[in-house]
Amino acid sequence: MIPVILKNEAFALDESTISSGYLSEKDLMDNAGKSIAQFVVENIHDPFNQNIIVLAGPGNNGGDAIICHYYLSFYGINSKLILLDKQQKESWIFEKYTIDSKTINFHDDKIELNPDYWYIDGIFGIGLKRNIGGKYKKIIDLLIDCPNIISIDIPSGIYCDNGIMAGTNINAVYTLTMGYPKAGHFFNVGLDASGEVSVLDIGFKDISEPHSFLQLIDNEDICEQLPAYSENAHKYSRGKLVTIAGSKGYTGACILAIQAAMKTGVGIVKAIIPKSLNVVLETILTEAITIPIQEHDAGTFTTENSSDILLETDWADAVIFGPGLKTDANSGDWMAQILRKLEKPLVLDASGFLPLIENKMTIGELPPDSILTPHYAEFSRIFNLDLRKVMNDPISAVRGIIPKLENRVLILKGATNIIVNSGGDIFLMNHGTPALATAGTGDVLTGILGALLAQGEQLDEASLLAVYLHGECVHQFNKIISSMGLIASDLPAMLPYALNEVNHVH
């Protein structure tokens, strides 16, 4: 797992490294400038026949850029330096590093930028505090359509902690970040603007308590978590899953969740459904057992069904609750009745959040082994938060609600998934692609989670593995079928390939 840091954490790490005598500030800047220059030489096409323009703004980010220019010139690269502040010429850097004055220019508004050149963006770094204006905005606006930009630490104009744009921003092909990724690389405009993020080791001290930071999940963290089966395994030992899902008009959600669960390896599934859906589900779900329950006219359950539904859950190793459940004025009541009395590991999704939203119950009344899987709108309703504020700063929003989870697991679904484990640690995963932004893909994730819990996976491990497999299904679809045209019902068929990929890595 890779620590992901916020602005204040980055500054503290910098200060801790310097104050310990491990490395000086000048050593860190030299390492940064040299590492950036080496990346350029090693990663851009035909670097010795390219024109490189290094843009140095105020602050240490600009200092890194100046030192990068020095090393590029030293390596024989055709590099030009543009200082955006004339006072930078008085910096100690020009005393320590001999830089040919012919390669130095001072910015004025008449400078024209060439889209065929490569640009090193050292204008603003992680310390940005306010929206950008004046000459800095003008030069960033000139670069907006430039196809060849390498940003230092974070694209200029992107706030470090949340990825929001500060009035304008650079769109980088590569972002070279020092020591550790920053949260702004993974959210809002920052996710696209950062391009391919590479972490440069410039000599920071190791983080002593990584669990106190955000943590990015990578392949190696996942491969140890697949369920293992005994040679004597049978369908009941491989997990018994009950789904409480589906209603008139929303049969697809139930079907997708069950198909995903079966493909993830669960031994047997019972689908508790409104009676009127039985023919449809028995026709499509040939492996699942349907448990038809008498419904009311709206084609969904009522409080009268609660005892029958709970009785069926006694058989299960895990329960899925919520996908495709139609809601009405009474839905929150019967849902709360079931959820309060449920004693099985639970995956709660979609309409299943209604009793929480309506304050019919609290998260603390859910089974202790519960995973909640809201998207941003559902999250904001569950916790009574402003949706725009949640989207603008999801990390702060998630940190604020951790005590309310009472050791339940939360998966906040988005382009970068935020996972809070049972201990309150926060993980990030962006293994998926925009192809997942289509109806029904969340139901597939719910099915994967339910299958893993039924097979005995612990909450924390199941949440990480499920989110990874969900994203890996898209990569397998791209590889086997096409990079376009994916719909949610394509994903369950990709799960065996995704599982095999994880097993192969293991």
DSSP string, 367-436: -SSEEE--BHHHHHHHTT--HHHHHH-HHHHHHHHHHHHTT-EEEEBSSSEEEE-TTS-EEEE--S-GGG
Q: Supply the pTM of this predicted model.
A: 0.95
Please, which pLDDT band fits residue 425 given cuts at 50, 70 and 90?
very high
Q: Name the packing angle between helices 25-43 and 7-19 (round to 10°).
A: 120
Question: What is the token pair recorded at 83?
Answer: 């200082």
The mean pLDDT of 27-53, rounded to a whole number, is 97
Q: What is the mean pLDDT of residues 386-394?
A: 98
* β-sheet with 346-348: strand ranges across: 2-4, 214-216, 426-429, 417-420, 409-412, 370-372, 346-348, 318-321, 240-244, 268-274, 289-293
Sequence-ordered list of residues with C-beta below 8 angstroms from that of 78, at least 6 positions apart, any chain:
48, 50, 51, 52
Residue 149 is which amino acid?
A: I
> Does residue 108 carry a pLDDT above 70?
no
Residue 477 pLDDT grade (very low, low, confident, very high; cuts 50, 70, 90): very high
In which band, very low, low, confident or very high, does the pLDDT at 8 lie, cut at 50, 70 and 90?
A: very high
What are the Cα distances from residue 496, in Å, to 91, 265, 448, 464, 482? 58, 9, 12, 17, 17
Instruction: State the pLDDT at residue 213.
Output: 87
**Position of tokens 């024109």?**
51
Burial-class residue 485 by CB neighbours within 10 Å (0-12, 13-18, 19+): exposed
Following CA atoms 316, 488, 474, 438 in sequence, which dihedral angle do they give, to the nearest 10 degrees?
-120
% of the chain with per-residue pLDDT over 70? 97
**CA atoms of 499 and 496, how far apart (whole Å):** 5
User: Measured between alpha carbons, how far is 42 from 443 in angstroms, rounded to an integer?
Assistant: 43
Q: Per-residue pLDDT averaged across 454-480, rounded?
A: 97
Compute the average pLDDT of residues 152-156: 98
Name the token pair of 153: 């630490």
Closest CA to 309 of 253, 367, 244, 258: 244
pLDDT of 432 above 60:
yes
In this predicted structure, the answer to whether residue 288 has a pLDDT above a threshold of 70 is: yes
- The H or E element containing residue 319 is strand 318-321
pLDDT of 43-73, one tens digit each? 999 999 999 999 999 889 999 999 999 999 9
252-286: per-residue pLDDT in tens? Answer: 999 999 999 999 999 999 999 999 999 999 999 99
Is the per-residue pLDDT at 448 higher than 90? yes
Taken in order of first residue, the domains within the chain and their CATH numbers are: 2-209 (3.40.50.10260), 219-505 (3.40.1190.20)
Give the position of tokens 């495709």. 324
Residue-level pLDDT at 181: 97
- Is the pLDDT confidence value at 297 over 90? no
Is the pLDDT at 90 greater than 90? The verdict is no
Tell me the percentage of the chain whose pLDDT exceeds 90. Answer: 82
Return the pLDDT at 463.
97
**How many CA atoms lie within 13 Å of 493's alpha carbon, on the beta-carbon side?**
9
The three-point CA angle 349-351-357 to 5° equals 95
pLDDT recorded at residue 86: 80
State how far the Cα of 500 lies from the Cα of 505, in Å rounded to an integer: 9
Q: For residues 451 and 457, what is the distance between their CA atoms, to the nearest angstrom?
A: 9
Torsion sign over Cα 392, 191, 427, 175:
negative
Average pLDDT, the chain: 94
pLDDT at residue number 110: 59
- Between the alpha carbon of residue 79 and those of residues 74, 172, 207, 349, 363, the distances in Å are 10, 18, 35, 54, 58
Query: Residue 340: pLDDT above 90?
Result: yes
Does the structure show a pLDDT above 80 at 230?
Answer: no
Is residue 185's pLDDT more than 60?
yes
Confidence check: pLDDT of 223 > 70: no
**H/E run at residue 495:** helix 491-505
Number of other residues whose CB lies within 10 A of the CB of residue 166: 20
Q: Say whether pLDDT at 109 is over 60.
A: no
The distance of Cα 274 from the centroid of its chain, to the nearest Å, equals 35
Among 301, 320, 316, smallest CA distance to 255 is for 320
CA distance 453 to 227: 10
- Per DSSP, the three-state class of 318 is strand
Q: What is the pLDDT of residue 210?
A: 65
At residue 427, what is the residue type? F
How much is the pLDDT for 492?
A: 98
